Structure 1
Amino acid sequence: MARMHTRRRGKSGSDRPATDENPEWSDVDASDVEERVVELAEQGNDPSQIGMKLRDEGVTGTPVPNVKLATGKKVTEILDEHDATPDLPEDLRNLMERAVRLRDHMEENQQDFQNKRALQNTESKVRRLVAYYRGDELDADFEYDYEEVKELLEG
């Protein structure tokens, strides 16, 4: 399927091996993994960053190839249980940060029409995601506004 705002189709990526159990060489305790996940979240890491840090650094020196296989729960489920969820969903936060950067760039470079289009596309994606998350992850009356979002991301 083609991308939404380009005519390209994207590149295929590698797939995770299909397995239902944690590898033999990864002998980590589920409670240790959960503690490390909460600790990394309190340091300000997003769920995807937590997964990469656990994969690279591990728990007590042993890498964790897959948090779900090690604990039986996803990273976001662990964060929900320990009330450490971020205030905004990660994908929405990343898009909002990009929109703020593009808006700041457009204030300095009014003739940059390519980035003007990129800003329009990004803000369109933000509005679509806000509509998707409204009521569940966001307040029912949340609206995308540049000034409010800039304050929200800075604070």
Structure 2
Amino acid sequence: MTAWHEAGHAVVYVLQGRSLRYVTLRPRGTGRAGFTAVRPRAVELSTVAVVAHAGPLAQARHVLDTTSDIELRREGITADDVRLDAYLHGGHDDLQLIAQARRAYGLPARQADPWAGMAQDLLDRYWPQVAQIAAGLLEHRTLTGQQVRHYLDAAPTL
């Protein structure tokens, strides 16, 4: 699942015009199974929030795509449960970034933020490339920014 999580981050980083150094499944620090490294530059906090949502949302979509409806019903699990689990068990840093953006923009606790929808839209439009990048990560453990851009450059224009 980490491959899809990190692939989601990487795709949205690049689609937003950010400079990706690499994405890896090699652990970095305590509790991290993967990492997406970008070249530092000033960006809007809202842009960071969209990228933060992309990892857990890609992870959840992969789980939902590979789990039968029968299995979900048997376990009493909904699609919302899968999404929440992706944020809670793989998106700790992501949740912190999203919370920081929510505070900065003064969003009330019960109000949905707009960034999840933006991330989901990008993931839906580029899902085949997210899957290719995840497969590349599973095979090679690390992909460079150039390799990620290659997958996206080969994508049909939507």
Query: TM-score range, shorter-chain basis?
Result: 0.3 to 0.5
Larger radius of gyration: 1
Instruction: Please state which structure has a larger fraction of its residues in helix.
Output: 2
Instruction: Please state which structure has a larger fraction of its residues in strand.
Output: 2
Normalised to the residue count of structure 1, the TM-score between the two structures is 0.32
Normalised to the residue count of structure 2, the TM-score between the two structures is 0.32
